[in-house]
C-alpha cells in the first residue's frame, strides 16, 4: 500500500555547524548569559508539603510560608537590552489582564501597601529572532520588600531572551491567586525562587484545518491556550482548497496568524501533506490530478506537480493510463513511484533551504535513501524513535495510540506517561529526539468542539515534554498529578478556554452532573 504523508517545513535551513537546530521550533539553550546559580530542589511540592499548582512543573523551585499581596496597578519595570522591547510590554499587559479583573483597579487601596507593586523583567538580549535554538529559560524571584531575596517591588523575572521572559510571565501569572475574602490578588507560599527551562525543544500541537474550516479567531484562541501550557510549535494546514468561498484562508490571514503566534513565542509551521491528502489542490489546478476520476495521490508523472510543490514551498497511479505508461517506461512499481516522489520533494525542499519532515513510512520503506537532514515523524505506534535515532536521524514522537487527540477514548494518564525517550539509553541518541507533538486531526472536530477535544489532555503531554523527567516521575499520578491537572483545567476555563472535564471516559464530553471543576 502506498502511503502518502510527507511534510515539508517552510522555514529556512540553519547553519551546517548547528545540526540539531534544523526544525524551527522553540528550544532552550544549554548555556545562558551570565553566571548560573546552583540548582534548586526538584519542584514537586511547596515548603508546606502542598503540591505545586504550576503547569507545567518547573525544573526547580524553593518556596516559603508567606502570603504576599499584589498591586492591581502592578507596574512593569523593564531592565536589560531586551527588557524594553514591545514584545515584553505586550506580553506583560496580556498577563495583567488575565490576573486582574477590571473592577480591581478601581477598588485599589488608596494608601497602597501592597507587597508586590512592580514586576521587574530583566532580558539579556534584544534579539527577537524565533528559531530552534532560542533560549526559553527563565528565573523568578518573589519576596516581600526588604526580605532576604528581595528586589524592588517584590518580584523579578530574569531571562536571556524575550521568549524566556514570556514563559516566566506565564508562570508568574499562575502564582497570582485571587482571594475572595480579602478581594486581593495574592502570591502564596512566598518567597519563591524558580529556575525553569524545557526538557525538549519540540513540543507541538498539530491543528488540522483541512477537514473542517477553523476560523482565524479560533486558531488564535488555540494559540493563546498553547502559550498557557508552554506547548509551542503549531501546525495549521492552510490549504488552498475550501468547502465554500466563505471558508478560505487568505495570505493576509496566514501572516496575521504567524505574527500573532510569534508574539506568544510560538512558531507556525504549515504542513504540506503530499502526495496524498491533497485532492483539493486539483480544484484550482486540475493537471495535478492523475485524471478527473482519480484525484489523489497527485500525479507523480507530471513535472507540473513538482513545479506547484516548489512554488508553494496508491492505487490511482496504476489505473491512470499516462501515469501507468510513465511507470512502465521507468520500470517502476507504485511503491517505487512513492519513493521517487518523496525524494524529489526532499530535494526541492533542501534546495530552498527548508528541512524535510517525513512521516515514518518513508523511514520504514527506504531509510537508506533519505537525506541526512530528514526529521522522521513517528505516528504508527511505539518503538519507532529508537530505530530512527540509531540510524542518525532526528525524530518527533506522535504515537497515535497515546498522542492523537481525536482518539477520544485515550485517557489523560496515557498522554502524561508516554515518554519520547522510551527505549533509548544512549545519551547521544537521546539528543536526536527533538520532542513530540499531539495531533488534533479534524474529521470530527470543528469550532464547536475543538478546544475541549484538545484540552486538558494536551496539557498532560505538554508537562511530559517541558518538565524534568525526575520531577514528574516522582509524583503520584492519581493524587498529586491529577489534582494539579484539575487545577490547570479550571485555570483554562477561567481564562475562557473550553477545556473539558479531566476524568470523563470520553474526552470532550460535558460534566455528568453538578460539581466543582476542581474534581471533574
Q: Are 313 and 10 in contact (CB under 8 A)?
A: yes
Those residues with Cβ within 8 angstroms of residue 43's Cβ, 6 or more apart along the chain or in another chain: 52, 54, 57, 58, 59, 60, 61, 194, 467, 471
Helical residues (DSSP H) of 229-377, grouped into ranges = 251-262, 281-284, 303-311, 316-319, 321-329, 334-351, 361-366
Cα separation of 388 and 433, whole Å? 9
Task: Identify the bridge partners of residue 176 per DSSP, sorted by sequence position.
Answer: 187
pLDDT grade for 345, boundaries at 50, 70 and 90: confident
Burial class (CB in 10 A: 0-12, 13-18, 19+), 145: middle
For the segment 280-286, the average pLDDT, to the nearest whole number, is 64
Q: pTM value?
A: 0.82
Phi, psi for 232 (deg, rounded to 5): -105, -55
Query: Any idea which residue has 524571584 for its cell?
Result: 141
Q: What strands, in cross-sheet order, belong to the sheet with 184-190? A: 60-62, 192-196, 138-142, 154-159, 116-123, 66-79, 184-190, 176-179
What the block records as the C-alpha cell of 190 is: 512566598
b/e map 267-292, b = 16+ CB within 10 Å: bbbbbbbbbbbbebbbeeeeebbbee
pLDDT digits (tens, 9 = 90+) for 212-252: 889 999 999 999 999 999 986 444 433 445 667 677 777 78
DSSP notation for 440-466: E--TT--TTTHHHHHTTHHHHHHHHHH
Average pLDDT of the residues in 43-72: 88
Phi, psi angle pair for 43, to nearest 5°? -95, 55
Tell me if the bond preceding 275 is cis, omega within 30° of 0.
yes
- Cα(14)–Cα(21) distance, rounded to whole angstroms? 6
Count of other CB atoms within 10 angstroms of residue 175: 25
Average pLDDT over residues 172-185: 94
H and E: helices and strands count for the chain: 19, 14
- DSSP, collapsed to helix, strand or coil, labels residue 435 as strand
Mean confidence (pLDDT) of the chain: 83
Grid cell, residue 512, equals 455528568
Distance CA 194, CA 191 (A): 10
CA atoms of 261 and 451, how far apart (whole Å): 17
Dihedral over Cα of 387, 7, 405, 228: its sign: positive
Contacts of 494 (CB under 8 A, 6+ apart): none
312 has a pLDDT exceeding 50: yes
Q: Is 362 exposed, middle or buried (0-12, 13-18, 19+ CB in 10 A)?
A: buried
Q: Is pLDDT of 289 > 90? A: no
Neighbours of 260 (CB within 10 A): 16
Intra-chain end-to-end CA distance of the chain, in Å: 43
Instruction: Give phi and psi for 463, each to the nearest 5.
Output: -65, -40
Residue 20 pLDDT > 60: no
CATH 3.30.379.10 fits 33-196, yes or no: yes
- Cα–Cα nearest to 123, from 166, 158, 169: 158
pLDDT of 432 over the 60 cut: yes
CATH superfamily of this structure's domain 8-29+200-379+387-394+421-469: Glycosidases (3.20.20.80)
Q: pLDDT, tens digit, for every residue of 373-401? A: 999 999 999 999 999 999 999 999 999 99
Q: What is the mean pLDDT of residues 338-347?
A: 88
| pLDDT at residue number 242 | 61
pLDDT for residue 274: 62
Q: Which one has a higher pLDDT value, 287 or 29?
A: 287
Domain boundaries along the sequence of the chain: 8-29+200-379+387-394+421-469, 33-196
- Mean pLDDT, rounded, for 325-341: 87
Q: How many angstroms from the chain centroid is the CA of residue 426?
A: 26
Q: How many degrees, rounded to 5, is the angle at CA 156 between CA 151 and CA 157?
A: 150
Q: Cα 420 to the chain's mean position, in Å?
A: 15
417 has pLDDT over 90: yes
Q: Give the E-state strand segments of 180-226 in sequence order.
A: 184-190, 192-196, 202-207
- Bridge partners, 177 (sequence order): 186
Look at residue 415 and tell me whether its pLDDT is greater than 70.
yes
How far apart are alpha carbons 13 and 346 in whole angstroms?
A: 13
Amino acid at each position: 500500500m502506498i502511503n502518502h504523508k510527507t511534510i515539508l517545513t517552510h522555514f529556512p535551513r540553519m547553519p551546517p555547524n548547528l545540526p540539531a537546530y534544523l526544525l524551527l521550533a522553540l528550544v532552550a539553550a544549554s548555556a545562558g548569559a551570565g553566571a548560573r546559580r546552583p540548582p534548586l530542589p526538584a519542584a514537586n511540592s511547596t515548603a508546606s508539603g502542598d503540591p505545586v499548582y504550576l503547569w507545567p512543573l518547573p525544573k526547580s523551585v524553593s518556596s516559603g510560608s508567606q502570603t504576599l499581596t499584589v498591586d492591581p496597578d502592578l507596574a512593569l519595570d523593564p531592565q536589560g537590552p531586551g527588557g524594553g522591547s514591545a514584545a515584553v510590554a505586550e506580553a506583560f499587559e496580556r498577563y495583567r489582564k488575565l490576573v486582574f479583573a477590571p473592577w480591581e483597579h478601581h477598588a485599589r487601596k488608596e494608601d497602597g501597601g501592597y507587597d508586590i507593586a512592580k514586576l521587574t523583567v530583566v532580558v539579556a538580549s534584544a534579539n527577537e529572532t524565533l528559531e530552534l535554538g532560542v533560549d526559553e529559560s527563565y528565573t523568578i524571584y518573589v519576596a516581600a520588600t526588604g526580605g532576604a531575596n528581595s528586589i524592588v517591588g517584590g518580584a523579578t523575572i530574569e531571562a536571556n531572551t524575550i521568549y524566556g521572559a514570556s514563559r516566566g510571565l506565564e508562570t508568574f501569572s499562575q502564582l497570582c491567586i485571587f482571594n475572595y475574602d480579602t478581594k486581593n490578588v495574592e502570591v502564596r507560599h512566598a518567597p519563591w525562587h524558580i529556575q525553569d527551562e524545557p526538557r525538549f525543544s519540540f513540543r507541538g500541537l498539530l491543528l488540522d484545518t483541512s477537514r473542517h474550516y477553523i476560523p482565524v479567531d479560533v486558531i488564535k484562541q488555540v494559540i493563546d491556550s498553547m502559550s498557557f501550557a508552554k506547548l509551542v510549535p503549531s501546525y495549521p494546514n492552510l490549504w488552498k482548497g475550501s468547502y465554500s468561498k466563505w471558508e478560505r484562508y487568505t495570505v493576509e490571514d496566514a501572516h496575521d496568524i504567524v505574527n500573532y503566534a510569534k508574539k506568544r513565542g510560538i512558531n507556525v509551521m504549515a504542513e504540506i501533506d503530499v502526495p496524498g491528502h491533497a485532492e483539493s489542490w486539483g480544484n484550482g489546478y486540475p493537471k495535478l490530478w492523475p485524471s478527473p476520476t482519480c484525484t489523489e495521490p497527485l500525479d507523480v508523472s507530471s513535472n507540473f506537480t513538482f513545479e506547484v510543490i516548489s512554488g508553494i514551498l496508491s492505487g490511482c497511479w496504476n489505473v491512470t493510463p499516462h501515469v501507468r505508461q510513465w511507470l512502465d517506461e521507468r520500470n517502476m512499481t507504485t511503491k517505487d513511484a512513492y519513493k521517487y516522489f518523496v525524494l524529489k520533494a526532499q530535494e526541492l525542499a533542501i534546495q530552498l533551504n527548508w528541512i524535510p519532515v517525513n512521516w515514518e513510512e518513508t523511514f520504514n520503506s527506504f531509510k537508506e535513501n533519505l537525506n541526512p537532514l530528514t526529521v522522521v515523524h513517528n505516528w504508527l505506534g511505539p518503538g519507532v524513535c529508537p530505530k530512527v535515532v540509531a540510524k542518525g536521524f532526528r525524530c518527533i514522537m506522535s504515537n497515535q495510540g497515546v498522542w492523537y487527540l481525536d482518539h477520544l477514548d485515550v485517557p489523560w494518564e496515557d498522554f502524561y506517561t508516554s515518554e519520547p525517550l522510551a527505549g533509548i539509553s544512549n545519551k547521544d541518541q537521546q539528543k536526536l529526539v527533538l520532542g513530540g507533538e499531539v495531533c488534533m486531526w479534524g474529521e470530527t472536530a470543528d469550532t464547536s468542539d475543538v478546544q475541549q477535544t484538545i484540552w486538558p489532555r494536551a496539557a498532560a503531554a505538554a508537562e511530559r515534554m517541558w518538565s524534568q523527567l525526575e520531577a514528574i516521575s516522582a509524583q503520584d499520578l492519581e493524587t498529586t498529578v491529577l489534582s494539579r491537572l484539575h487545577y490547570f483545567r479550571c485555570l483554562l476555563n477561567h481564562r475562557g478556554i473550553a477545556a473539558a472535564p479531566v476524568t470523563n471516559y470520553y474526552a470532550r464530553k460535558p460534566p455528568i452532573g453538578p460539581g466543582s471543576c476542581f474534581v471533574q
